[in-house]
């Protein structure tokens, strides 16, 4: 008999609902919140209010796109962290109430693990990574190298000690006067820029850990000095600046990932999280593959940034193990393994 999981994601500024039948996605809907653009970043209070408004219509629509009745749902899986507490509470409250009303199990999903498990969605043309593999998990709030031994056994072997890679993109964009989220815009401008135009220093951090705060500071000082000489420096060089900043972030990410691959003797390498939508990072992975060094696993764009399909697939594996949550479970804000 098929297993139907309703997945709910509300950890940050996207309200998303998905329905999965076993490993196949039947619906994956996302309501984005444009409201944060005016503020240069996500405003937590506004995010939770928008989730409140969006959650029922998004879930209702997901069920109708999937063409299933609520009585067919086997379990409800939702993100219980990490994320913004007010945002998480909206998904949590809905999921608990709906599970109770339908007399079906409740499944709590770790958002960062779900980004990785998006690789296991049944998707024609997409290869599934074999265990063990390494996953570079890069989002707006996290940057991790994860050793993935199974669907449930994931060990963080390296992580940022300050800003996340997505944050580095967004903060660099903000310094250049671009709206939030700046990552996709830098990616777009970089497409017609020269990545060798400007050089930014790389951090020296021991082991497999990352640091991005120094890069942000060096971009800030570099532009401050240039703007003194030429007030239109950013407008004149937006493509080359974007390409050079993107190159610096990708080089930093790839350096530690290569180190991890050598250290663990693992050549199956995947990427996950919002920043894995970045074209230069995807190209850098492809180059490792072409060199014959790695087998690479790159998710489809729609499963890179926050979405509920990844929550539903994570929920599916937890369902198979009977890993259900009680009604008194509470969300968490910071990453826990």
User: Could you tell me which stretch among 21-29, 133-141, 202-210, 313-321 binds Zn ion (CB under 5 A)?
Assistant: 133-141
Q: Is 61 helix (H, G, I), strand (E, B) or coil?
A: helix
Minimum CB–partner distance for residue 139 and ligand KG4 (Å): 3
Minimum CB–partner distance for residue 78 and Zn ion (Å): 14
**What φ, ψ does residue 67 adopt, rounded to 5°?**
60, 45
**What φ, ψ does residue 281 adopt, rounded to 5°?**
-65, -40
> Residue 133 or residue 212: which is nearer to ligand KG4 going by CB?
212
Q: Name the helix (H) or strand (E) containing 31.
A: strand 24-31
Assess contact for 11 and 112: CB atoms under 8 A: no
Site string for ligand KG4, 148-187 (x = CB under 6 A): ------------------x--xx----------xxxx--x
Greatest Cα pair distance, the chain, in angstroms, is 69
Q: Is 331 helix (H, G, I), strand (E, B) or coil?
A: coil
Task: Show the tokens assigned to 146.
Answer: 């994860």
Q: Which of the residues 141 through 170 are near Zn ion (CB under 5 A)?
A: none
User: Could you tell me which stretch among 49-57, 71-79, 137-145, 201-209 binds ligand KG4 (CB under 6 A)?
Assistant: 137-145
- Give residues with Cβ within 8 angstroms of 253, minimum separation 6: 136, 138, 143, 165, 210, 281, 284
Q: Which one of Zn ion, ligand KG4, none interacts with residue 137, CB within 5 to 8 A by kind?
A: none
- Dist CA 75 CA 323 (whole Å): 11
Residue whose Cβ sits closest to Zn ion: 139
Q: Which of the residues 181 through 200 are near ligand KG4 (CB under 6 A)?
A: 181-184, 187
- Dist CA 113 CA 117 (whole Å): 6
Minimum CB–partner distance for residue 280 and ligand KG4 (Å): 8
Binding residues vs ligand KG4 (CB under 6 A):
12, 139-141, 166, 169-170, 181-184, 187, 273-275, 277-278, 305-306
Binding residues vs Zn ion (CB under 5 A):
139, 306
């Amino acid at each position: 008999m098929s297993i139907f999981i309703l997945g709910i994601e509300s950890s940050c500024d996207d309200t998303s609902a998905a329905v999965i039948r076993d490993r196949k996605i039947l619906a994956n809907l996302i309501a984005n919140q444009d409201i944060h653009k005016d503020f240069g970043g996500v405003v937590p209070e506004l995010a939770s209010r928008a989730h409140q408004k969006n959650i029922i219509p998004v879930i209702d629509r997901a069920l109708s796109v999937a063409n299933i009745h609520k009585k067919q749902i086997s379990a409800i899986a939702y993100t219980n962290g990490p994320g913004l507490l007010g945002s998480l509470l909206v998904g949590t409250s809905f999921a608990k109430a709906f599970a109770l009303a339908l007399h079906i199990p409740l499944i709590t999903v770790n958002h960062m693990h779900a980004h990785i498990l998006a690789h296991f969605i049944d998707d024609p043309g997409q290869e599934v990574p074999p265990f063990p593999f390494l996953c570079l998990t890069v989002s707006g709030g996290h940057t991790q190298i994860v050793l993935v031994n199974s669907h449930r056994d994931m060990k963080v072997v390296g992580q940022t000690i300050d800003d996340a890679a997505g944050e580095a993109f967004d903060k660099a964009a903000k310094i250049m006067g671009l709206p939030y989220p700046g990552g996709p815009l830098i990616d777009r401008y970089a497409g017609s820029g020269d990545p060798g135009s400007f050089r930014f220093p790389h951090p020296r951090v021991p082991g497999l850990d990352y640091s991005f705060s120094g890069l942000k500071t060096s971009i800030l000082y570099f532009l401050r000095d240039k703007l003194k000489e030429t007030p239109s420096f950013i407008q004149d060089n937006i493509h080359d600046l974007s390409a050079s900043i993107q190159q610096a972030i990708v080089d930093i990410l790839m350096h530690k990932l290569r180190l991890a691959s050598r250290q663990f003797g693992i050549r199956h390498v995947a990427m996950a999280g919002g920043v894995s939508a970045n074209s230069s990072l995807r190209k850098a992975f492809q180059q490792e593959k072409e060199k014959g060094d790695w087998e690479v696993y790159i998710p489809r764009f729609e499963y890179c940034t926050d979405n509920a399909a990844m929550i539903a697939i994570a929920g599916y594996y937890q369902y198979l193990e009977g890993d259900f949550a009680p009604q008194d479970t509470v969300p968490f804000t910071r990453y826990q393994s």
